[in-house]
Chains A and B, each alone.
Chain A
């Protein structure tokens, strides 16, 4: 037992710490750009002209309809034949951005469509342009309604970041797999890895809860103290 504890502390200080940092790097690079993509795709779908709207729609259908792993393989193995060579890290981040962007866009689009049309009518009656009504009235309301869904998507991102391992980018799961292969203590190592993911997800949940509280307004379905 003593020996097991020493082993865990060893790998925690060594490969698992490196792996966790690598995972964090993946997540921190993908999450904001994923949200931004989601925002652009959803507004393009709702407000864009026929071409832009169709393009956004096609993007979402394509990404939602294919496994993320396939998307990563396409980016990593097929793009080089078109002259675009990406490192395992960049390929993973690009794949994660595209995936979380597609899913977030669905939450954001739903939120935009849920804003009552009389809110826009009132804005236009005050003399706001269509763009001003979107920026100052629709989006601030939509952001609050999209927050729970987008938070969920970011939490999924933490977990599917482990797929970067399939492109040989050594993040937490990969680091665990390598350590376990050396020591043959698969159960022990993967339990610890699982707990680290649980910790990261819990931290992210707390962060989003805090953001939700900051943005809370009576009349919107968010909790407020």
Chain B
């Protein structure tokens, strides 16, 4: 299928005695929004980090476009094709919002200065942060910082965006502004892999929800299927989808927590 952007096959990762990923396989098509949920420690963040090899997987393969990237020697070249947004924003503390967005364009893409500035400003505008272009990270709220970090990744014009719990470090009243930006991206056709437990967001934009448990994708399906109503399997989805018992148990658990 030529519209498959990302293909992941049998990914394994072990930290010391703990096998965090125990064979993860999935495919992402252009414009998909795949959301990973599941208890903490089940390898969701590790999975995202294995995709751009911030963490090296022990075995398994990842293809981005047509390229097998798990053994690519040009990992920097691979990473600039995948944007990543972190739980703790990870903005560069010594640079203004504008310079944070600019620096990848200047140093990695070697873009001319005026062009980088223009693009950085328009990316900041896209996340509603153009008024804060000259502010330093220490002067921004968590929600503002996270929007700048999204702009920083977007500016690189990635083929796919990885979001690693983008709102879990935020105060509840600040999550909305970040989720709004992400919804905007999703509706604009951006291919996204998201680790998040913001179920309202998940239900409104996810094309598929993947429930991870102990290093594997235990259950997966569309938000509609998971929310219930339709009997599992009736839309021809794979058997792996099962009855969503564990997914639903997990969701009940986090809602009560």
Contact = CB atoms under 8 A, between A and B. Distances in A.
Contacts of B108: 126-128, 132
B201 interface: no
Contact of B107 (A124, A132, A219): A132
A127 B156 contact: yes
A129 B54 contact: no
Contact of B136 (A121, A122, A124, A217): A217
B196 to A, nearest CB: 18
B94 A218 contact: no
13 contacts: A121-B90, A122-B86, A125-B54, A126-B103, A126-B108, A126-B153, A127-B79, A127-B108, A141-B94, A217-B94, A217-B136, A218-B138, A220-B93
B27 interface: no
Contacts of A121: 54, 86, 90
A141 B77 CA distance: 25
The range of chain A's interface size is: 20 to 34
A128 B54 CA distance: 12
A219 B52 contact: no
Interface of A: 116, 118-119, 121-129, 132, 136-137, 140-141, 144, 217-220
Contacts of A125: 52, 54, 79, 84, 86
B94 A144 contact: yes
A222 B86 CA distance: 27
Contacts of A220: 93-94
Describe A's contact surface by its main secondary structure.
helix
A126 B94 contact: no
Contacts of B68: none
B137 interface: yes
B54 A124 contact: yes
B152 interface: yes
B76 interface: yes
Interface string B106-137: 01100000000000000000000000000011
Interface in B69-86: 76-77, 79-80, 84, 86
B103 A136 contact: yes
B26 interface: no
B94 A140 contact: yes
